[in-house]
A and B are shown apart, each in its own frame.
Chain A
Amino acid sequence: MNWDSVCYDAGAFIAGLCLLEYGADRFIDHTAIIARRLGVSQTLVALLTAGAEWEELAVVVACILQGRSSLALGNVMGSSISNILGAFSLGLLFHPGCVAFDRSAKIYSALLFLITTSFMVVGLTKSMGWLAGSIFIGVFASYLVSVTYAIYRGVLDRPEDSDDSDDDMSSESHDTEALNGHHPTDISPLLPNNTSGGHATRAQKHTLLYHVAQLVLGFLALSLSGYVLSHSAASIADAVGLSDTVLGVTVLSFATTLPEKFVAGISGARGHGGIVIASTAGSNIFLLTLCLGITLVAGNRKDLADSVIPFELLTTWASSALLLLAVFLGSGRWVGGILLVLYAVFIALEFTIYKR
């Protein structure tokens, strides 16, 4: 056993945890601020930022290039289960009091449920070809366009405190509305209102660009820490002499989903329910449309059809149904606890009965 390299990896792992905390902190705070400035819901902004799972996409592409498309499919299903049962539950558990979800959270969790249902139908009927794959990719493209459009217009819903959204964009649009819609009368104050409001907010706060830069910094920190964590965890497990399967199922999947769990837990503790649901629903939509679509288009069809295990397929579907219920009925801490217990049961079943 090489003590020097084990110590080094352990040190890198601790440093990775610290970077993760730093990144998640930046990420959550500035997502909330940017959403309030733009006058759109936190859920929408977080869908684009927290929902992008580039490292999962990289894993899927690497698996396909090595000709192991069943591994790619297993990774997609495993991560989407762990996102709901493992990360979303932590967010609920740390959230103070009852969580109330806004309208866009409901819309996108319903969309996730539809996508998961169609994935289950495709998987159970064994009709996994390039046609189904390209449909999934098309769904992802339209989803991306719809979220971007909704942020651009800020129409899907407005947060309660939309008063302080006097930044450049919204005040400009108000101006043009006022000019086009109705002619200025004696009563409507044109200049005084706008200038005073603008100066007051400008004096207290940073510009929008500053918050976007901080958000990007947080995002980079999160990605980097994910890489360092999984790499160091894998080499520690390697040095200790764990077997390949145990390594893949426990250590690696735990270490790669650590960032999601951190983001969910911290944003739950700070009362940002919108970010919790968006990070879960957004990641799963990303996984089950783009990553799955690429797997189906480029993967080996026979290999895929053989590798589908009904148990995992049903668990993926059931967990997204539970997410939908939790979002629509509203949920407290006890729901998070139940989901976490279900996650433990799922992992135990994977190890004992459905051993691979």
Chain B
Amino acid sequence: MDWDSICFNASAFVTAIFLLEFGAFAVAVVSVLQLVLGFTALSTSGYVLSHSVASIADTLYLLSTVLGITVLSFATPLPEKFVAVIGGACG
């Protein structure tokens, strides 16, 4: 089992989720420059997310469809949930 590649892919996955958030925020703004920046961020993060999930699936001998359905759909909205939970719990 290649631990180094698993670690890197998992970290790249988490990192790309933040890029996704950034892109979503930027697209919501009116300015053209931010719009372009946001779309670039969204497409990059989408590419990195899918690639990292596929690599992890390869190393763990799982079907990437299964992993895509479970992990990807579960993890992508996590930052929003996290912020909401922190905000709610601590006032």
Using CB atoms and an 8 Å cutoff, list the residues of chain A in contact with chain B. Answer: 7-8, 11-12, 14-16, 18-19, 22, 206-207, 209-210, 213-214, 217, 221, 224-225, 227-228, 231-232
Contacting pair B22 A8 (CB below 8 A): no
- Least distance between A65 CB and chain B CB atoms (Å): 16
Interface string of B3-43 (1 = CB under 8 A from A): 00001100110111011001000000000000000000100
Using CB atoms and an 8 Å cutoff, list the residues of chain B in contact with chain A. Answer: 7-8, 11-12, 14-16, 18-19, 22, 41, 44-45, 47-48, 51-52, 82, 86-87, 90-91
Contacting pair B12 A12 (CB below 8 A): yes
Kindly identify which residue among B19, B51, B91 contacts A14, using a CB–CB cutoff of 8 Å.
B19
Lowest 7 A-B CB distances belong to which pairs? A210-B90, A12-B12, A15-B19, A11-B48, A15-B15, A18-B19, A19-B18
- Least distance between B45 CB and chain A CB atoms (Å): 6
Minimal Cβ-Cβ distance residue in A for B46: A11
Q: Is the interface of A mostly helix, strand, loop or mixed?
A: helix
Contacting pair A209 B18 (CB below 8 A): no
Contacting pair A7 B47 (CB below 8 A): yes
Beyond the given pairs A8-B51, A224-B15, 19 more chain A to chain B contacts, judged by CB atoms under 8 angstroms and listed by A's residue number, are A11-B16, A11-B45, A11-B48, A12-B48, A14-B19, A14-B41, A14-B44, A18-B22, A19-B19, A22-B18, A22-B22, A207-B90, A207-B91, A210-B86, A210-B90, A217-B86, A227-B7, A228-B15, A231-B8
* Also in contact, A11 and B11, with CB within 8 A (given A18-B22, A206-B91, A207-B91): no
A225 contacts across to B, CB distance below 8 A: 15
Contacting pair B90 A209 (CB below 8 A): yes
- Least distance between B87 CB and chain A CB atoms (Å): 8
- Least distance between B54 CB and chain A CB atoms (Å): 10
- Least distance between A23 CB and chain B CB atoms (Å): 9
Contacting pair A15 B18 (CB below 8 A): yes
Contacting pair B11 A227 (CB below 8 A): yes
CA A7 – CA B48 in complex, angstroms?
Answer: 9
Contacting pair A19 B48 (CB below 8 A): no
B12 contacts across to A, CB distance below 8 A: 8, 12, 15, 228, 232
Contacting pair A18 B41 (CB below 8 A): yes
- Least distance between A10 CB and chain B CB atoms (Å): 9
B48 contacts across to A, CB distance below 8 A: 8, 11-12, 15
Contacting pair A224 B90 (CB below 8 A): no
- Least distance between A7 CB and chain B CB atoms (Å): 7
B82 contacts across to A, CB distance below 8 A: 217
A16 contacts across to B, CB distance below 8 A: 15
CA A8 – CA B56 in complex, angstroms?
Answer: 14
- A–B pairs, 26, beta carbons within 8 Å: A7-B47, A8-B12, A8-B47, A8-B48, A11-B16, A11-B44, A11-B47, A11-B51, A12-B12, A12-B15, A15-B45, A16-B15, A18-B15, A19-B19, A206-B91, A207-B91, A209-B90, A210-B86, A210-B87, A213-B86, A213-B90, A221-B18, A224-B15, A227-B11, A231-B8, A232-B12
CA A200 – CA B19 in complex, angstroms?
Answer: 37
- Least distance between A211 CB and chain B CB atoms (Å): 9
A214 contacts across to B, CB distance below 8 A: 86
Minimal Cβ-Cβ distance residue in A for B82: A217
